[in-house]
Structure 1
């Protein structure tokens, strides 16, 4: 069995591959694998002609981040001890993959790990996705050191440490292959968005920890496949957040949380409407209807192995309260 491989998922990302794959090839110690989600642009031609040494997994249809990675990693199961899941729109730094893998080797109690993720467009600032390590509040809202909602901090080396976090970003996540497969991979119902938070929560329920190290830096473009302003992203985020809570909280705690979330999500839909984002407002309600169908088994998707559910000991009771009422816009202010 080989030590590790970096797996890049691609869908119609020829432009990103041309821009960032050379950096990954130049700076990576471990082999690169590209899993293609049935692209119909020039991605496959570019990879086959320009990088014949890179292993290519051609999937038959676009099944999103979740389905693409689940299928690709199932095909290479048993070949590697560690996977590094890397978005195609990321610029990596020298020895980045070796440091991540060696850290996991030294810390057997950790299932997954992310580096410091900075913005490619705004070099002095953190990136939206993962930033300096991710957390979840008691109501299931994710936030990061370096990014709370849309407030993004400048990087002044304040998070150049290594700590335990609640979740590692799917933009760049090193993970133990055995842990990933033991849980059945990502939850297939998610398609994309928040699947990494869900699986990290399930890792922790299995007895593992999630880590962040700030001595490895990568730079992320973000929104390359689906813009943050796209109403579909609103739908996926709201629906998948509810799925995540249902997956991981015991029944009583979930019902209490869901009741609160219904009210907060209604306020979010109203806010979208008042700000002229009519499509986003509709997507919030569509997300709740889709969640109801999933919860009641009206749509058939394979489920991950059953684990004991429990309330997560969250660092914050409500990040919404901290952000909007207490006006705390930086993690250091919390």
Structure 2
């Protein structure tokens, strides 16, 4: 009898955290299995997923759903689509924040299920909560079962299992039975799935199926199948099979994705997709300037792995072990003995490559193959332009890569905003002339340019230590009649994770750069006025700070 086939099913929709978590999860399953993988994703997530012929993509739209329950119902729809696409005998449904830690074959799945048709791991607790078995049973009886099927009887307490649906292993016929039943129940239940103040999700359906509808079909899988940070002590344990970074519906945080990436490690997902150098000059060189960027630089470089492009990291005398994450095959390292700032370091790296095109990439920005190809295609047609994508931050907030020109009003508002006068700054932003449409500048978290064009405009202005050098190069491009082109691609930019600089130090650097831009491009009169305003604002903040400290000391002495 031949070994049964298996397939992976995953839903990846929503904020960038889900996209990047799915990237890690998919990489782990590509590396440790030979299964076909069926991913349902939206257009915001799809560009960041790994490329492999084994990944089958189902694009959906969940923009502004009426109810939060739409997200868990999309998981059921993803499972239906997966079953319709594959004839595999076994389906492994995994959440996007779960990574496979070692090789897995269909035979191990069969052994785990034994004589049962569906299996899940029993959740033993909730991190930060005292809820345990009796509490879970009461929640099941009074909430989940009462909502989904009030006419059904709960199992005896000793037979109840509080299963977690982050990992579900099932034969296809049992999964189809479950989905048909879940669909019937959803048709007669309130769409918002609110049981009082609590929203029931997919886990409630799986629990009702396993405990009440078909208890003889379900097996409690060993903990290794769903080793979860949400309830397991000693997470992550090395003998686990699947490590699950449960987010409790809040979306994976930045630290979660970094932890997932650390477990997955670097290396090719599919060997047949690995690209090697041709021995010729690279068409594109990625230039990454680091300064105490140890938290993110490894992740940034891993996203560039297995490509034919040149990678240059120039480090501004980091002291946090950044170079430990940079030293790897295929990466050229330039070590500065002191912090030269962004502009000087970028220019030095650009002079060290013979690549036709350059991409100045922040260490906290994640590149995608689609963005690279689109940028190169654009520059081949417009060699005198600069090309920049749009960005999205961790919370899903978008930022345009091509920004309108800096006006005197904008310089004033930004300095006010940085120094405790946000309300006044907001009023100034509503005034006409705040943004200058006569020229634009590239937000240079991922700036593509032909090397000859970059040198022709003088590179980045080294009079700026950090910040505003991209505004200045945009001004110079405009002065020469050259264009900043906005790509139709969006990249995740984590923002303020690229360099370990205290927020107060960051504010000082930004203010100094804006005052310098005012002096160089708008004259001494404006620069002097802004500098005086800046001094007054700093004195105001210092006085307020001293008053608050004195008040706290006075309250403490009572």
Which band: TM-score by shorter chain? 0.5 to 0.7
The match for 1:55 among 317, 329, 332 is 332
Q: RMSD of aligned C-alpha atoms?
A: 3.3
CA–CA distance in structure 2, aligned partners of residues 55 and 116 of structure 1: 27
**Which structure has the bigger radius of gyration?**
2
- Matched residue, 1:69: 346
Equivalent position of 2:371 in the other structure: 96
User: Which structure is higher in RCO with an 8 Å CA cutoff and minimum separation 6?
Assistant: 1
1:23 paired with 2:292, answer no
Q: Which residue in 2 is equivalent to 1:81?
A: 356
Distance in 2, Cα, partners of 1:137 & 1:260: 15
- Structure 1 residues 212 and 276, CA gap change in structure 2 (3 angstroms): farther
Residue 116 of structure 1: CA displacement? 0.7
Instruction: Check conservation: 1:139, 1:261, Cα contact below 8 A.
Output: no
Measured at CA, do residues 206 and 142 of structure 1 come closer, stay the same or move farther in structure 2, by a change above 3 Å?
farther
Quote the residue 2:526 is aligned against.
257
Q: Distance in 1 between matches of 2:546 and 2:285?
A: 42
The answer to whether 1:3 aligns with 2:280 is: no
SS at match of 1:141: helix
Deviation at 1:70, TM superposition (A): 1.9
For 2:283 and 2:535, locate their aligned partners in 1 and report how far apart those are by CA, in whole Å: 47
Structure 1 residue corresponding to 2:398, chosen from 126, 135, 141: 126
- Structure 1, unaligned runs of 5 or more: 152-162, 279-334
Cα drift, residue 55 of structure 1: 2.4
Q: Report the Cα distance in structure 1 between the residues aligned to 2:511 and 2:404, rounded to whole angstroms.
A: 18
Is the alpha carbon distance of 1:256 and 1:80 closer, same or farther for their aligned partners in structure 2, counting shifts above 3 Å? same
3-state secondary structure, aligned to 1:91 = coil
* Correspondence list, 1:29-48, <5 A: 30-48=309-327
**1:247 corresponds to:** 520
Instruction: Give per-residue Cα distances to partners, 1:13-53, cap 9 Å, x unaligned.
Output: 22212333212326x663322222233443333333xx312
Distance in 2, Cα, partners of 1:91 & 1:227: 20
- Equivalent position SS for 1:135: strand
Does the 8 Å CA contact 1:165/1:211 hold for their aligned counterparts?
no
- 3-state SS in 2 of match to 1:167: strand
**Alignment partners' CA distance in 1, 2:358 and 2:489:** 17
Question: Which residue is equivalent to 1:14?
Answer: 294
What corresponds to 1:175 in structure 2? Answer: 449
Shift of 1:216: 1.2
Match of 2:387 in 1: 113
Q: CA deviation at 1:82?
A: 1.8
TM-score, reference length from structure 2: 0.40
1:219 aligns with 2:492: yes
Matches of 2:300 and 2:546, distance apart in 1: 33
Change (3 A) 1:168 1:96: same
CA distance in structure 2 between the aligned counterparts of 1:60 and 1:271, rounded to whole angstroms: 37
Deviations 1:184-218 (A, max 9, x none): 322223111111111211222122122222x2111
Structure 1 residue 241 displacement after superposition: 1.5
Given candidates 506, 512, 518, the residue that maps to 1:233 is 506
Tell me how far apart the structure 1 counterparts of residues 355 and 438 of structure 2 sit (CA, whole Å): 24
CA drift of 1:117 comes to: 0.8
SS at match of 2:287: strand
* Rounded Cα–Cα distance in structure 2 between residues aligned with 1:183 and 1:131: 20
Equivalent-residue separation in structure 2 for 1:217 and 1:194 (angstroms): 22
176 and 221 in structure 1: CA distance in 2 versus 1, 3 angstrom threshold: same
The count of residues paired between Structure 1 and Structure 2 equals 248
